[in-house]
């Protein structure tokens, strides 16, 4: 039988991307590792993901971070990421917000000029640097590389186009993979910062970090910097007889 307890959340956003941090109310989550915990949540508590991510409490762009007990001894916090379609291994914009949240909540000891927050994610341990004064946060992505540049392909219409193929295996992957492609194309170089704006005109400046070449594929890592902002605190519950309140989604 599905149970809908009162669930407490903190809502934040980074560059306009929402993050709902689930702080209390979830039933006990079983598992010795973060992946075992995520599997348990997927198999036994997925109705609560829909309850929190779907309408009327969320929307199709909502992203969630369920705080769980760390399994790695050097982790400060551990998190399971969720969204409208299931669960993910990592979200770069989410860890930027989580870095500030961990510092504000006293989950890590504050240090100047930078506080290091170690976040255990399904993809592994992610280290975030937080400025305790400005709350600007940064992390360095896992490696990315461009494998093929200007490959000519033929479409069904017999028209030919040139494409680039790059490996998107990272947090904030769309940013990181684009930077790997730009580096391989000599648009940006080691230590240079790019300038991007998203659909809500938020500006961010990822920076290319050096990484040893992987079979001459120009492998790089990217430093991503941003700031999480608070939106509010909520307690969600299911009213008696409210079937729609269990969650529905417009796509």
The two tokens of residue 177 are 């993979």
Active site residue 91: yes
Counted residue by residue, the chain has a size of: 251
Distance between CA atoms of 217 and 224, rounded to whole angstroms?
21
The two tokens of residue 80 are 């399971």
Q: Which residues contact 30 (CB under 8 A, 6 or more apart)?
A: 36, 37, 40
Distance between CA atoms of 214 and 220, rounded to whole angstroms?
9
For residue 99, give the 3-state DSSP assignment.
helix
Distance between CA atoms of 167 and 142, rounded to whole angstroms?
11
Rounded to 5 degrees, φ, ψ at 167 are: -90, 115
Point out the catalytic residue in the list 91, 110, 121, 123: 91
Rounded to the nearest 5 percent, the helix, strand and coil shares of the chain are 20, 40, 45
Active site residues: 91
């Amino acid at each position: 039988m599905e149970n809908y307890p009162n669930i407490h959340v903190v809502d934040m956003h980074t560059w306009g991307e929402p993050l709902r941090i689930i702080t209390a109310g979830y039933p006990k989550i079983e598992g010795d590792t973060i992946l075992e915990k995520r599997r348990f949540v997927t198999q036994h508590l997925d109705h609560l993901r829909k309850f929190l991510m779907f309408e009327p409490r969320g929307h199709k762009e909502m992203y969630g971070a369920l705080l769980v007990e760390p399994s790695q001894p050097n982790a400060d916090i551990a998190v399971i990421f969720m969204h409208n379609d299931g669960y993910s291994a990592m979200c770069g914009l989410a860890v930027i917000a989580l870095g500030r949240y961990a510092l504000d909540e006293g989950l890590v000891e504050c240090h100047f000029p930078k506080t290091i927050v170690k976040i255990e994610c399904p993809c592994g341990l992610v280290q975030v640097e937080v400025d305790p004064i400005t709350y600007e946060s940064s992390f360095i992505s896992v490696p990315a590389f461009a494998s093929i540049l200007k490959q000519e392909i033929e479409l069904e219409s017999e028209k030919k186009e040139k494409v680039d193929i790059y490996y998107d295996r990272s947090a904030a992957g769309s940013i990181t993979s684009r930077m790997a492609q730009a580096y391989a194309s000599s648009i940006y170089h080691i230590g240079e910062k790019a300038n991007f704006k998203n659909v809500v005109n938020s500006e961010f400046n990822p920076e290319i970090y050096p990484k040893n070449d992987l079979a001459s594929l120009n492998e790089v890592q990217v430093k991503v910097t941003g700031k999480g902002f608070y939106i509010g605190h909520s307690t969600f519950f299911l009213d008696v007889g409210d079937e729609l309140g269990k969650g529905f989604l417009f796509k």
